[in-house]
């Protein structure tokens, strides 16, 4: 299917990215999964090739690449493993906060490292007691002269263990009413006194990607690390969540398409009762149904990518895409595992890894239930 936002140059970029990942990532994935971390040396290789934050303005050494490149990057990293989600998070979720809200000094300080891979980023919203209800964040950042003193805990933070900087949602006004008006975004550097990282969390899937708790105990953060204005953190998050959720939808579609592709291959080469598995009507109907849903999803997602590139406000549609594509990926994983029989349950089969790796997509970046509350609100029910 033709994808109008992808030009010849995007496809050339995809080709070299795919070759790079097949050589430099695929052979090491198992090792990274066992260590629950992708090494910094790989981040640097990715940076050297120009695959980190290519969207950054030329003024800061970037390529000013359009969102089509982010789509290619998200799809190709996902093709290797869903556990490589930390790269899109860095490129297209965290660093854009610095690009859009940062002062000149902040951009000069952090953007070049973000592109070279010397600086890994994370975003910390979730806390042990607060997830979906973001306005209720409890981590405080209280002004003390030219510093903020930060106290609190964050959890489930992607890239958290590797991160050199963490865009952290903090409550700068503990008395604000409503609660969301008291939130601000602070960039907290890993070597800040009073900032420690918990151990890497044991997840069901996405093992290569490090996820951890972050602990702030009287952490001193220079006031100049505030992103944008004090008290506007919640609005900034809402502005940026459209892109974050669209990326999850893009990755889910990529995973779903890959799982179907692999399953079609599998059922053609496996036989039972003297016939290929692909010859059974049940197999054909299942795959025909999934192919249909993938076509529908592809048309929808590509339309949203185009609208997002035109900077249209499509929060409701992206919320629809986020819940629908993540449920679709989970359904494809389950149906395709079934068609693999017992082999589908074995670690060395891609479908088994995808089955556990895509499970979380309906939970993170705003759970699917939260997506439906957004859609319902905008339906004026």
Ligand X SMILES: Cc1cc2nc3c(=O)[nH]c(=O)nc-3n(C[C@H](O)[C@H](O)[C@H](O)COP(=O)(O)OP(=O)(O)OC[C@H]3O[C@@H](n4cnc5c(N)ncnc54)[C@H](O)[C@@H]3O)c2cc1C
Catalytic positions, written as ranges: 244
For tokens 């998200």, name the residue: 74
Q: Which is nearer to ligand X, 266 or 355 (CB)?
A: 355
Q: Residue 216: beta bridge partners?
A: 152, 195
Distance CA 106, CA 227 (A): 9
State yes or no: residue 163 binds ligand X (CB under 6 A): no
Which stretch, 11-19, 117-125, 233-241, 280-288, contacts ligand X (CB under 6 A)?
117-125
State yes or no: residue 125 binds ligand X (CB under 6 A): yes
Question: Which single residue brings its beta carbon nearest to ligand X?
Answer: 131
Q: How far is the CB of 265 from ligand X (least distance, A)?
A: 29
State yes or no: residue 229 binds ligand X (CB under 6 A): no
Binding mask 303-342 for ligand X (x = CB under 6 A): ----------------------------------------
283 by DSSP, 3-state: which? helix
State yes or no: residue 126 binds ligand X (CB under 6 A): yes
Q: How far is the CB of 283 from ligand X (least distance, A)?
A: 32
* 334 CA to centre of own chain: 22
Which stretch, 74-82, 150-158, 178-186, 223-231, contacts ligand X (CB under 6 A)?
150-158
State yes or no: residue 377 binds ligand X (CB under 6 A): no
Q: How far is the CB of 365 from ligand X (least distance, A)?
A: 6
CA distances from 96 to 51, 92, 314, 331, 361 (A): 15, 6, 18, 32, 21
Among 158, 225, 325, 361, binds ligand X (CB under 6 A): 158
Which stretch, 25-33, 124-132, 307-315, 327-335, contacts ligand X (CB under 6 A)?
124-132
Distance CA 178, CA 180 (A): 6
CA 349, 354, 358: angle at the middle one, nearest 5? 170
Distance CA 192, CA 200 (A): 20
Q: Give the closest residue to 197 by CA, choosing from 339, 52, 77, 36.
A: 36
Q: Which of 278-312 are b and which e, b meaning 16 or more Cβ less than 10 Å from the residue's Cβ?
A: beeeebeebbeebeebbeebbebbbebbeebeeee
Q: Give the closest residue to 263 by CA, choosing from 281, 277, 280.
A: 277
State yes or no: residue 369 binds ligand X (CB under 6 A): yes
Say if residues 102 and 225 touch (Cβ distance below 8 Å). Answer: no
Which stretch, 12-20, 154-162, 326-334, 338-346, contacts ligand X (CB under 6 A)?
154-162
Q: How far is the CB of 295 from ligand X (least distance, A)?
A: 28
Q: Which is nearer to ligand X, 162 or 283 (CB)?
A: 162
Q: Per this entry, what is the length of the chain?
A: 381
Which stretch, 151-159, 262-270, 274-282, 304-312, contacts ligand X (CB under 6 A)?
151-159
Q: Give the closest residue to 134 by CA, choosing from 91, 171, 176, 188.
A: 171
Burial of 225 by CB count in 10 Å (0-12 exposed, 13-18 middle, 19+ buried)? buried
Tokens encoding 338: 């079934």
Q: Which is nearer to ligand X, 205 or 344 (CB)?
A: 205
Among 149, 215, 363, 375, binds ligand X (CB under 6 A): 363
Binding mask 184-223 for ligand X (x = CB under 6 A): -------------------x--x----x------------
Q: How far is the CB of 201 from ligand X (least distance, A)?
A: 8
């Amino acid at each position: 299917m033709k994808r109008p936002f992808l030009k010849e140059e995007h496809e050339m970029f995809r080709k070299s990215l795919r070759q790079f990942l097949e050589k430099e990532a695929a052979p090491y994935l198992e090792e990274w999964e066992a260590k629950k971390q992708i090494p910094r040396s790989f981040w640097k290789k990715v940076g050297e090739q120009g695959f980190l934050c290519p969207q950054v303005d030329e003024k800061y050494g970037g390529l000013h690449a359009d969102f089509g490149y982010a789509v290619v990057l998200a799809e190709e990293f996902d093709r290797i493993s869903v556990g490589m989600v930390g790269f899109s998070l860095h490129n297209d979720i965290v660093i854009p906060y610095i690009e859009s809200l940062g002062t000149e000094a902040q951009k000069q300080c952090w953007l070049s490292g973000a592109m070279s891979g010397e600086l890994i980023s994370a975003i910390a919203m979730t806390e042990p007691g607060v997830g979906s209800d973001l306005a209720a964040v409890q981590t405080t950042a209280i002004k003390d002269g030219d510093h903020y003193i930060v106290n609190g805990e964050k959890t489930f933070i992607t890239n958290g263990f590797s991160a050199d900087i963490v865009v952290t949602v903090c409550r700068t006004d503990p008395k604000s009413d409503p609660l969301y008006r008291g939130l601000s975004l602070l960039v907290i550097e890993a070597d800040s006194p009073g900032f420690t990282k918990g151990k890497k969390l044991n997840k069901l899937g996405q093992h290569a990607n490090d996820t951890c708790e972050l602990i702030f105990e009287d952490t001193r953060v220079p006031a100049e690390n505030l992103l944008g204005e004090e008290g506007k953190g919640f609005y900034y998050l809402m502005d940026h969540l459209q892109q974050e959720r669209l990326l999850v939808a893009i990755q889910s579609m990529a995973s779903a398409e890959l799982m179907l592709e692999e399953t079609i291959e599998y059922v053609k080469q496996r036989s039972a009762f003297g016939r290929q598995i692909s010859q059974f009507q049940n197999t054909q109907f299942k795959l025909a149904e999934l192919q249909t849903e993938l076509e529908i999803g592809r048309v929808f997602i590509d339309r949203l990518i185009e609208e997002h590139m035109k900077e249209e406000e499509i929060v409701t549609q992206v919320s629809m895409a986020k819940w629908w594509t993540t449920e679709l990926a989970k359904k494809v994983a389950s149906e395709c595992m079934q068609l693999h029989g017992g082999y589908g349950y074995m670690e060395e089969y891609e479908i088994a890894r995808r089955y556990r790796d895509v499970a979380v997509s309906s939970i993170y970046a705003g759970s699917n239930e939260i997506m439906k509350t957004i859609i319902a609100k905008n339906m004026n029910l």
